[in-house]
């Protein structure tokens, strides 16, 4: 073996083959983090944002920075030097550090961190674009050398998109700016890079020659793609749908120019390897999603809608752009490129390629069939099951990638040891008999079909089974479009001639709330996220039929619909609608409750203690994440309910501070419907921070405590009574500046429960009738009878009390005790009185205060709401006082 002893300098040619950590490891790292985020997304802040950005900003962006440089050297017929490699390493470091800062800053709402990350990314990508431009200027390009311009244009798109993203991270979530950000980054940065790359990579993967017109088509496509993105982004920024449509039309036209040459190459050599099939399916999803956005924008513009009308369509389409396009084009391209750049000779490269092709048809078929299921109007169960199949199929690439790299490394070592290639070619799976690939594809499809069938058996309504639309199949059909928004169906009265089959096309046009539509004849649809639609075949109408939204409380808020059968003797025409719904009301009730029963073995009382505040030199900033969850909770011995909770408890966490303190609260909705939060401790316009957010979304609510008090916080999503009664409340304690220290401090929050069935949710009919089943302190009936609150004779005890309601007043009383201090709603009624006292603290819902006393002797001192029926319903506890 001959070794060069010449010293290396900046102009020395860098190694073109072999392992390169800065190139090869970060993509795998970001892909692995993406899979982990998908698995644990319920416990993450801003989970949808994280899952999308870990893939696009992490894995895909790193891959673009790496491979666009690789192609630039190849297409411009130049070689990377040591100086080029050093500069690229620094750019990759800047990019990945920037992405990391963004992934920390955005979920934690630390804008300086997010801004620093965005700045680092902008510097890295701008430097990347400049380096490509300079290389193109000094090189003699080959036939496809001008495709480098795609990479330069894409870099400019990311600079704009990342700058806009840095601004959005400050707390703005204006839908027009979010759309502009997505267009620049997904269709611009990623889409234009892919368009420029597949012109040469696609025929290379297929092992065929590029189409004769490919270079000309690419030259025509670039202005359309780049100009289209800029026009569409500008239209989004200024909320002009016509301009967005023009930009998308130009962009799609550019895709057509690229697609013609790709189609011709595929006709010469159909896709057979995993790399080809994965890239091919990615391109189809890309084209399909852009077409959907284009058509949707045109329709919204014709209908006179705005960005708010378009946003639901964008929110529905972006996940498929990510999962169908970006998530497939990356592993497809890497499956071809990694064996090539690892090198080692023909035999090791074939070994690596064969390993990457392992079960390729199975993986591609499973992933894409599962994605199609997710795109259909199916039940949540079916969508989750299909998502799991998709995740398994896609995540397997990470395992296969490491196995393939190891296999190729071993083949290289063996080849070097033997000094000659192995005899006989190693055939990739793509070159195996077509029957094997077909068998794998069929297996993948069957796995998805079987999953759909099992889910349909578990939930028949998911496929329209169970209650079926009735009547003559030849009956005339009337199709009516219904919109669900603002707790109303529009129209809410539908007149249908007797004997006519009614089909309702339901669209949820609400900003954040989930809705559905069910009918008293048993026909019903699925729950629809904002922007989603479905067709409901109600059947042949022979009599009047009532319909309503089955989401808790929505029907009681007036979300009902009446079908009037025109032509019957008792038809009620246009003023119909006052139908008796009592027979279909939500069933509930506590069942047989034993208020003297003992809690279960795992019972833990809600911690009623309120620790003293730590010393502080000035105002403090408190940061907290409140995650909305559906939580099965025991609310009395043997009685469980599914509560909607903040951080898994009812009441939610207590916020404790002083006047002047700032609270930065990140609300994450991991529930199954829209929720919100209203902090009474903050004085600010409610429009933005108190708005309802859909499942999977988050917002940051910042307020400064300017006045002392015990303040309620609660969900303000309508119907508010149902959300509060089902556990969505808590307290913010802001201590007065002159508050004297005490030996013990407790916090008690009174609330009512209107029990649904066992494990069910709030009974909204009992709530409307103001007939609570339980009235409790801190979320559980009589819990401090079973676990009394400790105190010592002679020590001063302060008890903060808040009435969270939503309906019942409270009269807090300690049996055997007298209050010498009573502070209610910001003022002292008595303050350390000597010869006067108080026996009860009277509170209406959302009012609070505190009382102070010293227990004179050892014993058990019950505390109650002296609205005695409520004490008997569970608003009861005990102070255990010892010497």
- Minimum mean pLDDT among 89-103, 361-375, 548-562: which range? 548-562
Q: Which of the residue ranges 669-678, 695-704, 820-829 has the most confident prediction, judged by mean pLDDT?
A: 820-829
- Minimum mean pLDDT among 613-617, 662-666, 776-780: which range? 613-617
**pLDDT for res 2:** 40
Looking at the structure, tell me whether residues 371 and 238 fall in a common domain.
no
**Are 154 and 188 contacting, i.e. CB atoms less than 8 angstroms apart?**
yes
Per-residue b/e over 555-569, b at no fewer than 16 CB within 10 Å?
bbbebbbbbbbeeee
Mean pLDDT calculated for residue range 513-532: 83
Looking at the structure, tell me whether residues 384 and 338 fall in a common domain.
no
User: In what helix (H) or strand (E) does residue 97 lie, and over which residues does it extend?
Assistant: helix 82-105
Looking at the structure, tell me whether residues 711 and 814 fall in a common domain.
yes
- Minimum mean pLDDT among 413-427, 758-772, 798-812: which range? 413-427
Q: Examine residue 4 and state whether it is found in any structural domain, yes or no.
A: no
Q: How far, in Å, CA of 18 to CA of 20, rounded? A: 7
**pLDDT for res 463:** 52
Looking at the structure, tell me whether residues 461 and 495 fall in a common domain.
no
**pLDDT for res 831:** 92
Q: Examine residue 542 and state whether it is found in any structural domain, yes or no.
A: yes
The yes-or-no verdict on residue 825 having pLDDT over 70 is: yes
Q: Examine residue 603 and state whether it is found in any structural domain, yes or no.
A: no
The yes-or-no verdict on residue 857 having pLDDT over 50 is: yes
Q: What is the pLDDT of residues 148-191, one digit of tens each?
A: 999 999 999 999 999 999 988 887 767 889 999 999 999 999 99
- Minimum mean pLDDT among 391-400, 413-422, 521-530, 675-684: which range? 413-422
Q: Examine residue 50 and state whether it is found in any structural domain, yes or no.
A: yes
CA-based nearest residue to 777, from 576, 671, 645, 636: 636
Per residue, the 3-state secondary structure of 654-672, as one string, reads CEEEECCCEEEEEEEECCC
Q: Examine residue 745 and state whether it is found in any structural domain, yes or no.
A: yes
Q: Examine residue 714 and state whether it is found in any structural domain, yes or no.
A: yes
Mean pLDDT calculated for residue range 750-772: 90
Specify the higher pLDDT residue, 46 or 810. 810
Report DSSP state, residue 685: -
Looking at the structure, tell me whether residues 189 and 299 fall in a common domain.
yes
What CATH code is carried by the domain that includes residue 271?
A: 1.20.210.10
End position of a domain, from candidates 315, 342, 369:
342
Task: Give Cα 477 distance to the centre of its chain.
Answer: 38
Q: Which residue has the tokens 């708010």?
A: 308
Which DSSP string do the residues of 792-811 spell out, in sequence order? Answer: ETTSEEEEEEEEEESS--EE
Mean pLDDT calculated for residue range 112-129: 95
Tokens of 648: 């898994």
End position of a domain, from candidates 284, 318, 342:
342
Beta strands 729-735 and 655-658, pairing class: parallel
Which residues, listed in sequence order, are joined to residue 478 by a DSSP beta bridge? 502
Torsion of CA 79, 80, 83, 86, to 10 degrees: 180
Percentage with pLDDT > 70 across the chain: 90
- At 444, phi and psi to the nearest 5? -60, -45
Whether a cis peptide bond, with omega within 30° of 0, leads into 491 is: yes
Looking at the structure, tell me whether residues 249 and 169 fall in a common domain.
yes
Query: With bands split at pLDDT 50, 70 and 90, how would you rate the model's confidence at 379?
Result: low
The yes-or-no verdict on residue 432 having pLDDT over 60 is: no
Query: With bands split at pLDDT 50, 70 and 90, how would you rate the model's confidence at 15?
Result: low
Mean pLDDT calculated for residue range 651-660: 95
201 C-beta neighbours (distance < 10 Å), count: 21
Looking at the structure, tell me whether residues 377 and 439 fall in a common domain.
yes
Mean pLDDT calculated for residue range 202-223: 91
Tell me the torsion sign for CA atoms 12, 17, 20, 22. Answer: positive
Under 8 Å CB-to-CB from 605, ≥6 apart: which residues? 778, 780, 783, 784, 786, 787
End position of a domain, from candidates 342, 368, 391:
342
Q: How far, in Å, CA of 49 to CA of 54, rounded? A: 8
Q: What is the pLDDT of residues 299-340, one digit of tens each?
A: 888 887 778 778 778 888 999 999 999 999 999 999 999 998
Looking at the structure, tell me whether residues 394 and 511 fall in a common domain.
no
Specify the higher pLDDT residue, 290 or 7. 290
Q: How far, in Å, CA of 699 to CA of 109, rounded? A: 9
Looking at the structure, tell me whether residues 128 and 228 fall in a common domain.
yes
Specify the higher pLDDT residue, 33 or 430. 33
The yes-or-no verdict on residue 570 having pLDDT over 70 is: no
Q: Residue 867: left if φ>0, alpha if ψ -120 to 50, beta else—which one?
A: beta
Specify the higher pLDDT residue, 596 or 865. 865
What CATH code is carried by the domain that includes residue 529?
A: 2.60.40.420
Q: Which residue has the tokens 């069933």?
A: 587
The yes-or-no verdict on residue 431 having pLDDT over 80 is: no
The yes-or-no verdict on residue 5 having pLDDT over 60 is: no
**pLDDT for res 25:** 86
Q: Which domain holds residue 541?
A: 477-576
Q: How far, in Å, CA of 851 to CA of 493, rounded? A: 54
**pLDDT for res 141:** 65
Q: Examine residue 628 and state whether it is found in any structural domain, yes or no.
A: yes
Give the relative orientation of helices 327-342 and 346-356 as an angle to the nearest 10 degrees.
160
Percentage with pLDDT > 90 across the chain: 55
Q: How far, in Å, CA of 276 to CA of 745, rounded? A: 68
Query: With bands split at pLDDT 50, 70 and 90, how would you rate the model's confidence at 108?
Result: confident
**Are 354 and 426 contacting, i.e. CB atoms less than 8 angstroms apart?**
yes
Looking at the structure, tell me whether residues 123 and 267 fall in a common domain.
yes
Q: Examine residue 599 and state whether it is found in any structural domain, yes or no.
A: no
**pLDDT for res 438:** 84
Q: How far, in Å, CA of 271 to CA of 269, rounded? A: 7
- Number of compact structural domains in the chain: 4
**pLDDT for res 580:** 39
Looking at the structure, tell me whether residues 544 and 633 fall in a common domain.
no
User: In what helix (H) or strand (E) does residue 758 lie, and over which residues does it extend?
Assistant: none
Q: What is the pLDDT of residues 716-744, one digit of tens each?
A: 998 899 999 999 999 999 998 889 999 99
**Are 536 and 523 contacting, i.e. CB atoms less than 8 angstroms apart?**
yes
Tokens of 62: 């790193």
Average pLDDT, the chain: 87
Q: What is the pLDDT of residues 492-519, one digit of tens each?
A: 889 999 988 898 989 888 877 888 899 8
Looking at the structure, tell me whether residues 332 and 439 fall in a common domain.
no
**pLDDT for res 423:** 47
- At 529, phi and psi to the nearest 5? -75, 160
**pLDDT for res 127:** 95
The yes-or-no verdict on residue 126 having pLDDT over 70 is: yes
pTM of the model: 0.62
Mean pLDDT calculated for residue range 88-106: 93
């Amino acid at each position: 073996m001959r070794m060069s002893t010449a010293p290396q300098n900046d102009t020395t040619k860098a190694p073109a083959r072999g392992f390169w950590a800065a190139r090869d490891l970060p993509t795998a790292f970001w892909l692995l983090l993406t899979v982990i985020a998908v698995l644990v997304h319920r416990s993450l802040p801003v989970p949808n944002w994280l899952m999308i950005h870990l893939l696009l900003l992490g894995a895909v962006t790193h891959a673009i920075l790496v491979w666009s440089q690789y192609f630039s050297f190849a297409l411009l017929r130049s070689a990377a030097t040591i100086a080029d490699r050093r500069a690229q390493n620094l750019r990759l470091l800047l990019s990945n550090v920037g992405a990391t800062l963004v992934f920390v800053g955005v979920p934690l709402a630390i804008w300086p961190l997010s801004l620093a990350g965005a700045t680092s990314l902008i510097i890295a990508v701008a430097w990347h674009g400049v380096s490509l431009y300079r290389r193109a200027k000094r090189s003699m390009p080959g036939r496809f050398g001008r495709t480098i311009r795609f990479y330069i244009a894409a870099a400019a798109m990311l600079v704009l998109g990342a700058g806009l993203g840095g601004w959005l991270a400050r707390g703005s979530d204006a839908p027009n700016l979010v759309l502009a950000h997505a267009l620049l980054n997904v269709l611009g940065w990623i889409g234009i890079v892919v368009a420029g790359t597949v012109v040469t990579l696609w025929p290379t993967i297929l092992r065929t020659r590029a189409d004769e017109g490919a270079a000309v088509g690419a030259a025509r496509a670039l202005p359309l793609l780049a100009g289209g993105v800029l026009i569409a982004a500008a239209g989004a920024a200024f909320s002009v749908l016509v301009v967005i449509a023009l930009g998308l039309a130009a962009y799609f036209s550019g895709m057509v120019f690229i697609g013609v040459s790709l189609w011709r190459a595929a006709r010469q050599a159909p896709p057979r390897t995993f790399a080809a099939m994965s890239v091919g399916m990615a391109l189809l999803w890309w084209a399909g999603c852009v077409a959907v956005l284009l058509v949707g924008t045109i329709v919204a513009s014709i209908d006179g809608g705005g960005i708010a009308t378009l946003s639901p369509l964008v929110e529905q389409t972006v996940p498929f752009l990510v999962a169908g396009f970006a998530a497939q084009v990356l592993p497809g391209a890497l499956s071809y490129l990694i064996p090539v750049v690892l090198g080692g000779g023909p035999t090791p490269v074939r070994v690596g390629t064969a390993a990457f092709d392992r079960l390729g048809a199975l993986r591609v078929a499973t992933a894409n069939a599962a994605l199609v299921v997710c795109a259909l109007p199916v039940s949540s169960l079916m969508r989750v099951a299909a998502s799991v199949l998709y995740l398994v199929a896609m995540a397997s690439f990470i395992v296969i990638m490491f196995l393939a790299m190891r296999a190729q490394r071993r083949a290289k070592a063996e080849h070097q040891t033997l000094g000659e290639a192995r005899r006989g070619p190693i055939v990739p799976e793509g070159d195996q008999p077509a029957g094997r690939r077909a068998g794998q594809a069929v297996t993948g499809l069957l796995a998805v079909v079987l999953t759909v069938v099992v889910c349909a058996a578990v939930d028949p309504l998911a496929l329209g089974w169970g209650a079926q639309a009735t009547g003559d199949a030849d009956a005339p059909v009337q199709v009516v479009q219904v919109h669900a928004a603002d707790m109303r169906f529009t129209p809410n009265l539908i007149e249908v001639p007797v004997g006519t089959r009614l089909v309702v096309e339901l669209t949820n046009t609400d900003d954040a709330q989930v809705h559905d539509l069910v009918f008293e004849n048993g026909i019903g649809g699925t729950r629809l996220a904002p922007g989603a639609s479905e067709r409901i075949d109600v059947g042949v109408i022979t009599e009047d039929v009532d319909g309503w939204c089955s989401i808790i409380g929505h029907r009681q808020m007036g979300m009902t619909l009446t079908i009037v059968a025109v032509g019957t003797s008792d038809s009620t025409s246009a003023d119909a609608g006052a139908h008796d719904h009592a027979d279909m009301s939500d069933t509930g009730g506590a069942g047989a409750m034993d208020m003297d029963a003992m809690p279960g073995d795992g019972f833990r009382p809600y911690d009623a203690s309120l620790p003293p505040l730590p010393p502080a030199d000035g105002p403090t900033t408190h940061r907290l994440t409140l995650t909305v969850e559906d939580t099965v909770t025991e609310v009395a011995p043997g009685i469980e309910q599914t509560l909607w909770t903040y951080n898994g408890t009812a009441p939610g966490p207590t916020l404790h501070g002083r006047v002047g303190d700032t609270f930065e609260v990140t609300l994450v909705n991991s529930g199954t419907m829209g929720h919100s939060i209203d902090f009474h401790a903050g004085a600010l316009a409610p429009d933005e921070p108190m708005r309802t957010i859909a499942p999977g979304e988050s917002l940051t609510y910042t307020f400064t405590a300017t006045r002392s008090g015990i303040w309620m916080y609660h969900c303000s999503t309508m119907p508010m009574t149902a959300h509060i009664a089902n556990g969505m409340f808590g307290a913010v304690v802001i201590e007065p500046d002159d508050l004297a220290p005490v030996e013990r401090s407790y916090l008690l929050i009174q609330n009512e429960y209107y029990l649904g069935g066992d494990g069910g949710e709030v009974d909204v009919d009992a709530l409307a009738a103001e007939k609570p089943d339980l009235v409790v302190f801190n979320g559980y009936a009589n819990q401090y009878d079973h676990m009394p609150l400790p105190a010592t004779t002679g020590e001063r005890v302060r008890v903060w009390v808040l009435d969270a309601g939503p309906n019942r007043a409270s009269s807090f009383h300690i049996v055997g005790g007298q209050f010498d201090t009573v502070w209610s709603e910001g003022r002292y009624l008595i303050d350390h009185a000597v010869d006067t006292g108080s026996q009860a603290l009277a509170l209406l819902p959302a009012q609070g205060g505190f009382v102070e006393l010293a227990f004179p002797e050892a014993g058990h001192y019950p505390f109650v709401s002296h609205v005695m029926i409520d004490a008997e319903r569970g608003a009861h506890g005990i102070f255990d006082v010892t010497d």
